[in-house]
Amino acid sequence: MIPLPVVKKASERDFRLPENPPTEDYHEALDELEKDGEIIVQRVPEPYIEVKTKYGRTKKIPIGKTWHHKSCGQCGHIPGYSTSIFWLNRQLGLDYIDPKDQTSCTAWNYYASATSNSAAQAAVAIRNFAAAYETGYYPLIHCGTSFGHYKEVRQALIHYPELRAQVRKILEKLGKPLVIPEEIVHYSEWVYAMRDRIAERQVIDMSHITATVHPACHYHKLIEEDAIYTPEIYGAQRTAIITGVLQELGVNVADYSTWFDCCGFGFRHILVSRDFSRSFAVQRKIEVMKEEANPDIVVTHDTGCVTTLDQSQFAAKAHGKKVGIPVLSDSQMAALAMGAHPYLVLQMHWHNTDNRPFLEKLGIDPDEKWREFEAAVERLKSGEQLYLTWDDVEAPVAAK
C-alpha cells in the first residue's frame, strides 16, 4: 500500500485559517453603504459574545434585547421548538420581544414554488428588519432557511444597486427605513454562545446519552461565510453549532458518515412529493446514524430538518427499516437539560417518533409528565383557565 501521509482523519488535521479569506467581508460592505447614506446598519446591542466564523472573522452574538423572528414550521407544527427558545431566554433573565409585527421570510414558499422574485423577497426581509429596528431590539432568526435566505438577500442588496433602489422605494411607501442588521444571527448561534450559562443551570444529567447531530444546509452551506467554526470542534472542519452545546451538556456526540448530507426536506418535496423526502431522510440519514452510532437522540437546529427526520420515520418503520430515533432541536435539548417540562415546554407530543425511552433514560417519567400536561389541558377545557401562561411552566421540573 502506498502511504499517504497527507491524508489525515478530520480529527487529526491541523487547523489553519486561510491567510486571505476567500469571501468578502460583509461588515465592510455594510459599513461602506451606511457611510454613503444608502442604508442603516442596526448594531448588535451590548453586551454581546464574540465568536469566530468559517474564515476566522469575528461575529457578534447578542445576549439579550432580542427580537424573535419566528419560523412558520416551528410555530405551526413543532411549537415546543420556539417555546423552548423563549423559555431559555426567560430562565436566563433576558429581555426579549416575541413580535406580532413579523411575517414569515416566505423563503420556504420561494424555494418550493418560485412564485416570487428578488425584489419581493428582499422587501419582505427588510420589512421585518425594519420592524425589529423600530423596537430597538435585535433580530434573532429562529429558522435556518430564513437565516440562509436573509444572508442571500443581504448579499444581493450589497451587490445590486438596482435592487437597493427598488427595495428602498417599496420601504418608503411603507414608511420604513432600509435597515440591515450588522450580523444576521441564527438562534442556534445564540444557544451556542450561551452554552456555558446553560450548562451552569443544568439539572438533568446527560453524560450517558449519545446523540448524532444534523446541521442544516441553509445554515452552513448557503452563504457559508458567517457560520460558526472553532478549532476545538472537528478541527474547524465542520460548524461548531449544536455539537458545542451538546458537549457542554456532557452528551456524547457520535459521528456518522453522512453528516454533510441534506435531510431531504426539499421545500416542495416535503409538501407535495414526500416519497423523496422520506427516502432520503431514512436511507441517507436515520439508517446510517442507527447503523454507525446507534444514538439515543438526533439533534438538529432547523424547522425542516426536525420535521423531515422525525416525521419520515413512521412510514419507514412500517417497511421494517432501521429507524426509531427521536429528534429534537438544540433549544429543546438545552431546555430539557435545564429542567424544562417535556410536554408543557418542549411540547414533545407534537413530535412523531417515540421519545418516551429517551425521557426514561434521562430519569424522567413520561407518564407522570403526561398526566401533568393533561391536568393543565383539563383546566383549559373546563374554562378555569383560557390559556397556559409562562407562570404555569416557568419553574424547572427538577426544582419543583
- Distance between alpha carbon 275 and the CA centroid of its chain, in Å? 25
185-186 and 138-141 beta bridge pairing: parallel
* Residue 376: Cβ-neighbour burial (10 angstroms; 0-12, 13-18, 19+): middle
Nearest approach, Cβ of 252 to other proteins (angstroms)? 27
Nearest approach, Cβ of 158 to other proteins (angstroms)? 11
Q: Which three cell numbers stand for residue 37?
A: 447614506
Answer whether 257's CB lies under 8 Å from 292's CB. Answer: yes
Nearest approach, Cβ of 338 to other proteins (angstroms)? 15
Nearest approach, Cβ of 326 to other proteins (angstroms)? 12
The Cα 84–Cα 330 span in angstroms is: 9
The Cα 123–Cα 120 span in angstroms is: 5
Place of cell 373546563: 382
Q: Which is nearer to other proteins, 20 or 207 (CB)?
A: 20
Nearest approach, Cβ of 349 to other proteins (angstroms)? 8
Reported as half-sphere exposure (CB side, CA atoms, 13 A), residue 292 has a value of 16
Burial 93-114 (b: 16+ CB within 10 A, else e): ebebbebeebebbbbbbbbbee
- Identify the three-state secondary structure at position 62: strand
Nearest approach, Cβ of 106 to other proteins (angstroms)? 6
- Identify the three-state secondary structure at position 143: coil
Say which amino acid occupies 260. Answer: F
What are the respective helix, strand and coil percentages of the chain, to the nearest 5? 45, 10, 40
The Cα 350–Cα 79 span in angstroms is: 8
Q: Which is nearer to other proteins, 248 or 302 (CB)?
A: 302
Q: Which is nearer to other proteins, 210 or 279 (CB)?
A: 279
Q: Which is nearer to other proteins, 66 or 209 (CB)?
A: 66
Nearest approach, Cβ of 387 to other proteins (angstroms)? 5
Q: Which is nearer to other proteins, 127 or 322 (CB)?
A: 127
The Cα 104–Cα 143 span in angstroms is: 10
Nearest approach, Cβ of 292 to other proteins (angstroms)? 18
Q: Which is nearer to other proteins, 1 or 173 (CB)?
A: 173
Q: Which is nearer to other proteins, 60 or 151 (CB)?
A: 151
Q: Which is nearer to other proteins, 199 or 271 (CB)?
A: 271
Answer whether 300's CB lies under 8 Å from 265's CB. Answer: no
Please name which of 75, 59, 273, 33 lies closest in space to residue 160, comparing C-alpha atoms: 33
